[in-house]
Amino acid sequence: MHLFDTHAHIGLITEDPIEQLIIVQEARKESVDCIVSICNNLQDFFQVYENLKTAAHVYHAVGVSPSEVANLSRGWEEKIEEGVAFPRIIAIGEIGLDYYRKFGNKDSQIELFIRQLEIAGRLGLPVIIHNRDAGRDVLEILKEKLPSRGGVLHCYSENWNYAKEALNLNLYISFAGNVTYRNARNLHETAKNMPLDRMLIETESPFMVPSSHRGKRNKPAYLSETALFIAELREEDPETVCEVLFRNSLDFFQVTP
């Protein structure tokens, strides 16, 4: 079995460089062959990248999340382009909109989101999209601004009807550990009915820990529970589901492990 964790906040699990390396190496023992490291801000991106630069199975996204809209420093766009020049940078992200926490204001979030979509388009990279309580605005913006390499709606939280709209665009949908929760009926319906070849999985660690590990901090080593739950939900062979999910990730990010 091969697994690809498409979204892990390694720097939020621990700030210790040695422990970060241990975490990503432990994941390999649990069949997680590839990981995408995600940072919410550029300062953390450069630090985590330095800590994990010897981990060849860890890829990186660079971008500014909506949580940082009020803390933008001068030259942030140039910093993104500087980061993209590093090896194993495979996406712009995570970027998007978050109306739940009310970071900054809607206009400033939308401007930041659009500017990073345009950067991704110019650099020929896909985008990793954050959406919390902003689904309609996210979708309308993507209809106009989604870069040619497409994007993934990470840690999916909308319903099946929304997913059908999203799948009409060049988008993938990624499920985290919360799909394993008993009351996550909207996620169950979407994961069961959507085309498997447009699906990715992630841990969103240290958050969204799968149900059997509730009470712990999530980490990439727990990814298999999400994959196996989806296979059971879809009533499909687990090995086949894992193989397709892994291949989807390689194709979307255009990487060769």
Q: What is the pLDDT along the chain (257 residues), one digit of tens a residue?
A: 899 999 999 999 999 999 999 999 999 999 999 999 999 999 999 999 999 999 999 999 999 999 999 989 889 999 999 999 999 999 999 999 999 988 889 999 999 999 999 999 999 999 999 999 999 999 999 999 999 999 999 999 999 999 999 999 999 999 999 999 999 999 999 999 999 999 999 999 999 999 999 889 999 999 999 999 999 999 999 999 999 999 999 999 999 97
Residue 50 burial (C-beta neighbours within 10 Å; 0-12, 13-18, 19+): exposed
For the chain, helix, strand, coil in percent to 5 are 50, 20, 30
199 forms bridges with which residues in the sheet? 173
Using alpha carbons, select from 73, 18, 68 the residue that is nearest to residue 38.
68
Report the distance separating Cα 212 and Cα 95, nearest Å. Answer: 29
State whether the Cα torsion 37-42-43-49 is positive or negative. positive
Q: Domain 3-253 belongs to what architecture? A: Alpha-Beta Barrel (3.20)
Look at the pTM and tell me if it is higher than 0.75.
yes
Report the distance separating Cα 39 and Cα 20, nearest Å. Answer: 13
Q: What is the CA radius of gyration of the chain?
A: 17
Residues 209, 216 contacting (CB under 8 angstroms)? yes
Domain boundaries, the chain: 3-253
